[in-house]
Chain A
Amino acid sequence: MSAHLTHEELTDNLLGVSSLTVNAHLLNCPTCAHELQQMKSAITEFHGAAHAWSEKAVAVERAVPVTDALAKRSSFPGWFAGWALAAAAMILFAAGLAFYVREYQAQNSTSLAKVASPATAISDSQLQIEKDNALLSQVNSELAEGVPAPMQPLQLLDSNASSTSTTK
């Protein structure tokens, strides 16, 4: 009997490529036959477990209609939907922030006005009234004079200045 089967010969047998010499060797070599059997068993067991597992996993997913799932996926690519959501969130945030700032400023100015009015507003209005009254009385006195101010004869403003100039 020749040496044991090579890895390629064993794999070929696993792949279903039959060879007379390999088959004859397997009949006479319990070591190779045992190894091949172990490999076949392991792969068969994995095959069975994989099929049973996947059938169960897919059966759970079948609760969702296929067309719905595909329509959902085909509507937008995932990254695009993500970016669109992020952009919408940013716009909403910016708009909210602007609105809040405007409202805050408006509230601030009205409250400042309210705070300032009790003390100063009253005094300001009284001062204004006094100014107005003074202006009105000045106008009245000017109107009461017979000759308007521009038409009155010229007068020396400073009598001392004129006297000093004459003495020189």
Chain B
Amino acid sequence: MAQMTIPVELIALSGDHRISELEDIDALMRLYKPKVFRFVAFSVSDRDAADSITQDCFLKAHLTRNQFRGDCSISTWLMRIAFNLVRDHTKSQKFRFWKKAAATAVDAHEVSQHLPSGASSAEERLIARERAEMVQRSLQELSDKQRSVFVMRFVEEMDLPDIAAATGMSLPTVKTHLYRAVAAVRARLGVTL
């Protein structure tokens, strides 16, 4: 990836330190909120719902901080909570016949406009934005699990074992979902051999 984020796991090293880090909810949210919000927003494709679920995620993490055993990173633990909340949200939406129009949908065009202008020419920037938009649109065609796994791997840059820990899936299942997700993105991009 061209743009690398700061690995937040490096900030918290020891188990005791990580547990004490959970006490400071403000610091926890400052550090992890963008990551959780991003994952949730691209999973549910609704900005308002993403806001709400992200708040719920941190509230739940704060209330159940004593249950954190320290066997994984705080980031993975938070992603596991977020994944479960997204799953619950999706389940509740499935049976909602009066689903409102996505007035607060995460707009692919809006997101692509935030693409850092690393490309040299205006034409290259336009192509890059279109490609980013297409990837985001292809996420809507994926199943919930495929989408979650794809976002965790390619947006959050999580390792496969971390994804398995966060989703509660086995490693081969995670890989299978990733293969299918990448195939759908390839099809959308029109990239075929």
Main secondary structure on A side of the interface with B: helix
Establish whether residues B56 and A73, one from each chain, have CB atoms under 8 Å apart when the complex forms: yes
Q: Is A56 an interface residue (CB 8 A)?
A: yes
Interfacial chain B residues near A48, Cβ < 8 Å: 2-3, 115-116, 118, 132
Interfacial chain B residues near A10, Cβ < 8 Å: 182
Interfacial chain A residues near B26, Cβ < 8 Å: 66-67
B interface bracket (residues with beta carbon within 8 Å of A): 35 or more
Of B8-16, B34-42, B77-85, the one contacting chain A is: B34-42
A interface bracket (residues with beta carbon within 8 Å of B): 35 or more
- How distant is B48 from chain A, measured CB to nearest CB, in Å? 11
* Nearest chain A residue, comparing its CB with the CB of B110: A53
Which of B3, B62, B129, B135 contacts A51 (CB under 8 A)?
B3
Which of B38, B116, B179 contacts A7 (CB under 8 A)?
B179
Q: Is A15 an interface residue (CB 8 A)?
A: yes
Main secondary structure on B side of the interface with A: helix
Establish whether residues A11 and B134, one from each chain, have CB atoms under 8 Å apart when the complex forms: no
Complex CA gap A12/B129 in Å reads 25
Q: Mark B22-39, 1 if CB is under 8 A from A, else 0.
A: 000110011001100110
Q: Is A103 an interface residue (CB 8 A)?
A: no
Interfacial chain B residues near A51, Cβ < 8 Å: 3, 5, 34, 38, 155
Q: Is A49 an interface residue (CB 8 A)?
A: yes
Which of B59, B155, B160 contacts A74 (CB under 8 A)?
B59
* Nearest chain A residue, comparing its CB with the CB of B192: A35
Establish whether residues B111 and A41, one from each chain, have CB atoms under 8 Å apart when the complex forms: no
* Nearest chain A residue, comparing its CB with the CB of B150: A43
Q: Is A145 an interface residue (CB 8 A)?
A: no
Establish whether residues A43 and B179, one from each chain, have CB atoms under 8 Å apart when the complex forms: no
- How distant is A30 from chain B, measured CB to nearest CB, in Å? 12
Sample (20) of A-B pairs whose CB atoms are under 8 Å apart: A5-B193, A7-B182, A7-B186, A15-B153, A15-B160, A41-B128, A41-B131, A42-B131, A43-B1, A45-B135, A47-B154, A49-B114, A50-B111, A50-B136, A51-B5, A51-B34, A54-B41, A66-B26, A69-B55, A70-B59
